[in-house]
Amino acid sequence: MACSPTRVVTLAFLSLMPAFVCDSATAQVSGLIEFSESGRLQRGIPLVSLASEIVVMGRDGWLHSIDPLQPETKFKSLEGQYEPLSAPELRNQLRAEFGKDFEVVATQNFLVVQPLGRGDRWAKLFEQSHRGFVSYMSKRGVNVRQGRFPMVAIVFPDRGAMYDEFKKQKIDVSRVAGIYSNNSNRVMTHDGGHLTSIIATVRHEAAHQSAFNTGVHSRLNDTPKWITEGIGQLFEPAAVTTSTTASLRRQRANEDSLQVLKKSYPGKNNPEFAQAVMNLVSGDEMFADEDHVMDAYSVAWAMMFYLAERQPREFAAILKHTAMRRPFVTYQRDERRADFEEVIGMNPYEFSRRVSWFLESL
Ligand SMILES: [Zn+2]
């Protein structure tokens, strides 16, 4: 298992966010609409309308980006209220989408699409991961609400089939065992290898899905990556949701991240570690840097693990603060840093020292 540079796929509009303030450029669309995408008629509610892009939340939980200037784009307003699809409706839709070689297994929180005859191990894994997530967060005072949509997990028969789907959805990733896609709100993985080798990745992606569906993160705003990826990394070890005593803290640690940290930032209070913490607090660039992406995931893990284990009140507070920010607004560097200092109660350098001591104590 390995971290990957781009596990959470964000919408195109995030890069357009500064343009959102330009009201004169917006198309006038609101309320329930019907629109066509890939030749299929769908219903949804527009969340943001720009001259060149309308972002619509579909009844199935997808975030669609529609270009109103394209001649083939068709949409019209409808009477009535927006309602998410019920689990049986969504199940039927998934059956139609994936066809006779797949089955849809329903659990309390999930619809798992898998090749025929794979039993219930995937459904159990997703359900257990989600329950573990909810219990872990609740214990630390994090607000966890019931999601609006049944969570969908797609298990492809092998890597190739999974990558064909990524291509179809224009998801540009390589060397991954699975992803959570913010646009489709789905986890996608495959059953073509040994489950043990991809299980940590699946737990990581499932944690993203749980977080984005329970209000721990918002799907519509710009959450700092050290927070979203720190959460993903946090849930990779199985012991995170099964062992709760302080004496077993070491088992809850992400071993891969620990090894990366030891190698990249040896010793206590390494100034480069402090600099990495500062970089992650202020911006997401480190995640886009091929040479430092593993460091970014590992430092993000250390920051969130420290907060979760030692300062749960601040852990809950930073999650709440970032989830409540206004949607579709870019989170500027100065603001990220000022919010961090206010919510955590110290500057990033002081914080990095505490995280460093904590890592030494493991
Ligand atoms: Zn991730």
138-147 pLDDT, tens per residue?
999 999 999 8
The pLDDT assigned to 357 comes to 96
Distance 183 CA to ligand 1 centre (A): 14
pLDDT of residue 2: 37
Distance CA 69, CA 30 (A): 17
Cα 54 to middle of ligand 1, angstroms:
26
Q: Distance from the CA of 203 to the center of ligand 1, in angstroms?
A: 10
**Ligand 1 centroid to residue 67 C-alpha, Å:** 28
How many angstroms separate the alpha carbon of residue 8 from the centre of ligand 1? 5
Determine the distance separating the centroid of ligand 1 and the alpha carbon of 53, expressed in angstroms. 26
| Distance from the alpha carbon of residue 103 to the mean position of ligand 1, in angstroms | 27
Confidence at residue 28, expressed as pLDDT on a 0 to 100 scale: 52
Query: Ligand 1 centroid to 207 CA: how many Å?
Result: 8
Give the per-residue pLDDT at 16: 36
What is the H or E stretch that residue 234 is in? helix 225-234
C-alpha of residue 32 to centroid of ligand 1, in Å = 32
Q: How far is the CA of 24 from the centre of ligand 1 (A)?
A: 36
Residue 95's alpha-carbon distances to 58, 89, 98, 113, in angstroms, are 18, 10, 5, 8
Q: How far is the CA of 7 from the centre of ligand 1 (A)?
A: 5
Query: DSSP letter at 361?
Result: H
Nearest to 121 by CA among 212, 185, 189, 60: 189
Q: What is the pLDDT of residue 13?
A: 43
Taking 70 as the pLDDT cut, the residues of the chain under it are 1-30, 246-247
pLDDT at 179: 96
Q: How far is CA 332 from CA 39, 51, 116, 322, in A?
A: 38, 24, 47, 13
**Sheet with 102-106, side-by-side order of all strands:** 8-9, 178-181, 186-190, 151-156, 110-115, 102-106
Average pLDDT of the chain is: 89
Q: How far is the CA of 187 from the centre of ligand 1 (A)?
A: 11
Phi first, then psi, for residue 103 (nearest 5°) are -125, 155
Does the 85-213 domain belong in CATH 3.40.30.160?
yes
Residue 263 Cα to ligand 1 middle (Å): 21
Ligand 1 center from residue 125 Cα (angstroms): 18
Please give the distance, rounded to the nearest whole angstrom, from the Cα atom of residue 9 to the centre of ligand 1.
9
Ligand 1 centroid–CA 297 distance in Å is 8
The rounded Å distance from CA 292 to ligand 1 centre is 15
Q: What is the pLDDT of residue 75?
A: 84
pLDDT score at 12: 44
Q: pLDDT at position 50, please? A: 83
Distance 274 CA to ligand 1 centre (A): 22
User: From ligand 1's centre to the CA of 38, what distance in Å?
Assistant: 28
pLDDT at position 181, please?
Answer: 95
Assess if CATH 1.10.8 describes domain 13-77: no
Where along the chain do its domains lie? 13-77, 85-213, 225-361
Cα 204 to ligand 1 centre (Å): 6
Q: Separation of 65 CA from ligand 1 center, angstroms?
A: 22
Dihedral sign, Cα of residue 93, residue 99, residue 104, residue 110? negative
pLDDT of residue 19: 28
> What are the angstrom distances between the C-alpha of 167 and each of 78, 162, 178, 299?
32, 9, 14, 30
Q: Calculate how far, in angstroms, residue 175's C-alpha sits from the geometric centre of ligand 1.
A: 13
